[in-house]
């Protein structure tokens, strides 16, 4: 298989997928060795950069996704006529922080840390696709555990959970407001399904 053909195949799969696709699945579908996939991705990104393309491929943990560059999101939003996403509330940011640093955890764990009922906040974050179920714990009652999603990584511009800032020493409280959010990222962290659609090339 020629290099240009490999580039076109990987690009076509990413374009058609829309959602993040794991490296192993991408390799299987394309017939290209996993070890070569990352090189192909880098070559495609170099091509996009050289041609000043609006597209780019981002890495989310062990998955890849074709998306629109941040500078063009406003144009996509205007074309799709979607409403501006509402920023996450302080309570939602607090719950997201707790789960991101301790996942997978149950609602009970979150409520123990916060000292208040957190069911509605967790459910809201699941609806926004920032959290997802991670199975049930093997303890009495078998409560559902939750973890962050690929959309969470994308929204906070993280390649993987390893990119999360280190937890401060002492009694300092971890806060995404302080550690992750900047003026340029605040709109991306709204977490609605509509915003995720705007970031993808569909």
All structural domains of the chain with their residue ranges = 3-68, 90-199
Which residues are paired to 200 by β-bridges?
A: 67
Sheet holding 144-148, edge to edge: 105-106, 144-148, 131-136
Average pLDDT, stretch 4-16? 92
Is the pLDDT reported for residue 138 higher than 60?
yes
Looking at CATH, the fold of the domain delimited by 90-199 is given as Arc Repressor Mutant, subunit A (1.10.10)
How many whole angstroms from its chain centre is CA 74?
A: 19
Looking at CATH, the fold of the domain delimited by 3-68 is given as Arc Repressor Mutant, subunit A (1.10.10)
Whether 90-199 and 3-68 are alike in CATH topology: the answer is: yes
Q: Count helices and strands (H / E) in the chain.
A: 10, 6
Q: How does pLDDT run across 95-136, given as a tens digit for each residue?
A: 999 999 999 999 999 999 999 888 889 999 998 889 999 998
Is the pLDDT reported for residue 13 higher than 50?
yes
Q: How far are the Cα atoms of 36, 65, 104, 202 from residue 16, in angstroms, in the given order?
A: 20, 10, 31, 8
pTM here is: 0.50
């Amino acid at each position: 298989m020629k290099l240009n053909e490999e580039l076109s195949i990987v690009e076509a799969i990413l374009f058609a997928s829309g959602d993040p696709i794991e490296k192993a699945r991408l390799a299987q579908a394309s017939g290209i060795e996993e070890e070569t996939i990352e090189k192909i991705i880098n070559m495609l990104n170099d091509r996009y950069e050289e041609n000043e393309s609006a597209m780019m491929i981002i890495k989310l943990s062990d998955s890849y996704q074709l998306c629109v560059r941040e500078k063009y999101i406003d144009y996509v939003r205007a074309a799709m006529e979607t409403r501006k996403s509402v920023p996450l509330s302080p309570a939602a940011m607090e719950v997201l922080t707790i789960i991101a640093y301790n996942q997978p955890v149950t609602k009970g764990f979150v409520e123990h840390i916060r000292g208040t009922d957190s069911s509605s906040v967790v459910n809201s974050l699941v609806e926004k696709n920032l959290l997802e179920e991670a199975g049930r714990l093997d303890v009495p009652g078998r409560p559902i555990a939750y973890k962050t999603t690929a959309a969470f990584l994308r929204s906070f511009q993280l390649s993987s959970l390893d990119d999360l800032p280190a937890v401060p020493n002492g009694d300092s409280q971890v806060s995404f407001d302080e550690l992750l959010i900047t003026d340029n990222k605040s709109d991306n962290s709204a977490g609605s399904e509509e915003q995720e659609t705007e970031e993808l090339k569909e």
